[in-house]
Amino acid sequence: MDTEDGSVKYVLTGDGAGTVFEIDENSGDIHATRRLDREEKSSYTLSAKAVNKTSGHVLERASEFVIKIHDINDNEPKFSKDTYVASVPEMSNVGAFVMRVTATDADDESYGNSAKLVYSILQGQPYFSVEPETGVIRTALPNMIRENREHYQVVIQAKDMAGQMGGLSGTATVNITLLDVNNSPPRFPHSTYHLSTAESAEVGSSVGQIKANDADAGENAEMWYSIVEGDGQDVFSVITDRTIQEGVIIIKK
């Protein structure tokens, strides 16, 4: 269209017209007024038409077009939590499931590898491992003993660009506790104890206390004392003090 007489101007309408996009009313050139973010809005539908400057009459039918914002890798992966808490029984086999962590990336999944995530472990080896594609954390050492070490801090990284150089990354911390299993028998600190009592002691009176130690935790460390052999079984018995986990030997008769 010949616009040399200055009687024609171009008008822009639609998504973001006048705010995100502007049109040069004389040339019809369209340009963005600010930085565009695909994660905010991925496409804009606009219409441009030519009108008479004086009368406003439409001189050229409106043309509709769509501006699509191409993605760049400008968003780092983010985990659903900064810190996770998990547990697994002690002495679990290698490969035992601990938990799954998940990260997301706001970049376009359908465009390149900007949102293709790969998981890796930055801290926590050789005790634990993570599956690169799923974020599933598993045990990596056999026979981990709670009595040796109960708590572990694992740091997991999610990196986009399929883990390649130049990809953006995010991290999360996983605090893992080994749960107790009943794998430690009670042990007395001495193999022989020497106790005495007066011959006039009354039935039910205490002769002495003995105490064993159990390296397990919770219910697995609760003990029950009994006399299993000896020539004094008819004279003495033992009761369990559940509060302090001691065996109290008393006169039976």
Task: Quote the DSSP letter at residue 187.
Answer: B
Task: Note whether 8-68 and 78-179 share their fold.
Answer: yes
- pLDDT score recorded for residue 199: 85
Q: Which residue has the tokens 């930055």?
A: 122
CA gap 198, 193 in Å, rounded: 17
pLDDT tens across 45-65, in order?
Answer: 999 999 998 888 888 888 999
Assigned architecture for domain 78-179: Sandwich (2.60)
Q: Which of 173, 161, 178, 179 is nearest to 101 (CA)?
A: 173
In the CATH hierarchy, which fold is given to the domain comprising 8-68?
Immunoglobulin-like (2.60.40)
pLDDT bracket for residue 5 (50, 70, 90): low
Which residue, among 251, 253, 249, has the nearest Cα to 208 in the 3D structure? Answer: 249
User: Residue 2: its pLDDT value, please?
Assistant: 47
Mean pLDDT to the nearest integer, 1-6: 52
The arithmetic mean of pLDDT across residues 212-218, rounded, is 91
- The structure's pTM equals 0.70
d(CA 87, CA 134): 19
Among the listed residues 79, 12, 70, the one whose alpha carbon sits nearest the alpha carbon of residue 41: 70
DSSP assignment, residue 221? G
Q: How is 4-40 classified by DSSP, letter by letter? A: TTS-EEEEEEETTBTTTEEE-TTT--EEESS---TTT
The single-letter code of the amino acid at 245 is Q
Separation of alpha carbons 158 and 104, rounded Å: 9
Compute CA 43 distance to the chain's CA centroid, rounded to the nearest angstrom. Answer: 33
Q: Most confidently modeled of 10-24, 81-95, 103-117, 185-199?
A: 81-95
- Highest mean pLDDT: which range of 60-64, 91-95, 104-108: 91-95
Q: What amino acid occupies position 242? A: R
By the 10 Å C-beta count (0-12 exposed, 13-18 middle, 19+ buried), 163 is classed as: middle
2.40.50.320, 2.40.30.30, 3.40.1080.10, 2.60.40.60: which CATH number matches 183-253? 2.60.40.60
What is residue 170's predicted lDDT score, i.e. its pLDDT? 98
Tell me the backbone φ, ψ of residue 219, rounded to 5 degrees: -60, -30
Task: Spell out the domain ranges in the chain.
Answer: 8-68, 78-179, 183-253
Q: What is the pLDDT of residue 108?
A: 81
Neighbouring residues of 82: CB distance < 8 A, sequence distance ≥ 6: 172, 173
Which one, of 26, 11, 124, lies nearest residue 61 by Cα?
11
